[in-house]
Amino acid sequence: MNKGKLIVFSAPSGSGKTTIVKHLLGKEDLNLEFSISAASRDPRGEEEHGKDYYFISLEQFKKHIKAEEFLEWEEVYRDNFYGTLKAEIERIWALGKNVIFDIDVAGGLRIKHKFPEQTLAVFVKPPSVDELKRRLKQRSTESDDKINMRIAKASVELATAPQFDTIIKNYDLDTAKEEAYQLVKDFVSKK
């Protein structure tokens, strides 16, 4: 496993990383393909299996872990696992494309650690924790308890920002999208 470039976008939930990644996927000159993560949870809202995540059972997820079939994985919340299957990265590299990830902070740093030269690790920073909470409530996809869990986790995640190659401050979405595009364009054009 050692072919193309890896572009990691990580941030607390509600920071705008998914919106930025979707924007970048629309830029053909970047030659990107989205890495679909595996998740042991049920789909939320309009999420689709094989498009947003590979939704697999907790038992299946643990079998993949035991067989060492993940590039990285984490138990994000109790019995709620997320990970990147090695086969997913191989699938994208076989297409001759660069891999882009919309992934949690711990997973993003693991990928950067395993492939330091091939990876651009970008942390998307929200304007404030209060703004994060507002955005999460606005989604209307989770209970107040889940939102509070995400906010508590966000404080820890924000502390990891300096470990990333670069930080994009998402105070204005259009500016953040353009900054992300320039960063990724420069990175993928390097040999």
Sole residue written with tokens 């308890």: 145
Q: Which residues contact 144 (CB under 8 A, 6 or more apart)?
A: none
Name which of 82, 128, 126, 134 is nearest 108 in CA terms. Answer: 82
Neighbours of 104 (CB within 10 A): 22
Annotated binding site for ATP: 11-18
Residue whose token pair is 């989604």 = 139
As given in the structure block, the two tokens for residue 121 are 């690790």
Q: What residue numbers does the annotated binding site cover?
A: 11-18
Contact 123, 160 (CB under 8 A): yes
